[in-house]
Amino acid sequence: MTLPDRVDVAVVGAGPAGCAAAITLCAFTSLRVALIDRAPPNRKPGEMLQPGAGELLAYLGLSAETVGAVHRPSHAMSAAWGSDQLTEWPLIFAMGQPALHVDRQGLETALRERASACGATLQLHAVRSTRKHDDGWALTFDSDEQPAQSARFLIDASGPGARFARAAGARVHTTHRSVAIWSTARAALGEDIADAGGVLVETAPEGWWYSAAVPGNGLVAALFTDAAILTGGALNSPDRWHEALARTRHTRQRLSNAGGWTSPITRPAHVQHLAPAHGADWVACGDAAMTVDPLSAMGMSLGLTTGIHAGRLAAAYCAGTDVTDCGYSDEIARQHDMHVAMLDRCFAQERHWPDAPFWAARQAQRPATKVHAVAAVA
């Protein structure tokens, strides 16, 4: 099936951000929207939705139940950070709501189905290029079967590479460079997800470990480190990854009964933001606009929020509003600065290994972060 040759809004990327943008547009306007992704929902890291995400899902016409999420009874995560002992870190913005644990593939399937049901044309094609012309954008595709398509407004929701926003002149500014080496396992037979506990974070000389339970008696664990440390220690080889895991205290104990580990996958986990994050007839959202440290477990919620904003911005443009000075780019820069300030405080608390390259790099004096003006988003 081919895409219509002309739409009002083309959304490139059908992760949480692109789906939120497409649903916002289709549920609240009669604009023609193409939601394009190169692949069906697949295995991606990210399984904890922040408390409050339930309200974002409700705005999009979904619920924790329809996306297959599991409510955790806790309002905190366990952390051995700056101390050998595990302590509870309250999810300070939780306002009494529990975090949601999701099967990531299930979440994306539900979001795409909802976008489709609202009227978005959902298609599996890799977008090759987006070129500006007098009347909007021309999109070309990798598949020869799919002819070029034009759109009045472009939303880049293609992930941290922000390829299409960069082609429009934006630049990615990277603050922290990290990688995640990530693997999944099954909880021991007979063990319930509830017994496996929520999120556990633990520091190590080479970085920090994250582990969490996911619906269906699954478990994930990831080591966050620097690319040079990964390469030097070959930490992405299954043997080295498991050896590093065995050197932890709490994480090892918690995962001792897990089995069927998948081969570790390496993913970039940088902290970065795009500037500008929007133009006269385009906007970036989700990781394309800003990526946060997975320590915050805020990437998907931020993807949903900025996706909703991007959808509103596109709707305003299509209704004839000049969105050039809407303040969206300033808001992304401000969010990034606040996030980095929070991370700096967090990394400063871990003093076990001041000379270890991972920690030394994060505890080095950084020039004061510029706090950007608060601005309204269209």
Which positions touch ligand FAD (CB under 6 A)?
12-18, 36-39, 44-49, 126-127, 157-159, 180, 182, 222, 267, 269, 286-288, 294, 297-301, 303
CB of 3 or CB of 378, closer to ligand FAD? 3
Sheet hosting strand 290-291, strand order edge to edge: 171-176, 271-275, 290-291
Relative to beta strand 179-186, strand 265-268 is antiparallel
Shortest Cβ 212–ligand FAD spacing (Å) = 7
At residue 291, what is the residue type? T
Structure tokens at 63: 């619920």
CB of 262 or CB of 321, closer to ligand FAD? 262
Structure tokens at 16: 């949480």
Shortest Cβ 143–ligand FAD spacing (Å) = 11
Cβ–Cβ under 8 Å, residues 169 and 157: no
CA atoms within 13 A on the CB side of 132: 10
CB of 118 or CB of 220, closer to ligand FAD? 220
Backbone angles phi, psi at 260, to 5 degrees: 70, 40
At residue 196, what is the residue type? A
CB of 22 or CB of 333, closer to ligand FAD? 22
Shortest Cβ 186–ligand FAD spacing (Å) = 19
CB of 127 or CB of 200, closer to ligand FAD? 127
Shortest Cβ 164–ligand FAD spacing (Å) = 8
Q: What is the DSSP string of 89-130?
A: EE-TT-TTPPPEE--HHHHHHHHHHHHHHHT-EEEE--EEEE
Shortest Cβ 197–ligand FAD spacing (Å) = 15
Shortest Cβ 322–ligand FAD spacing (Å) = 26
Cβ–Cβ under 8 Å, residues 212 and 200: yes
CB of 269 or CB of 333, closer to ligand FAD? 269
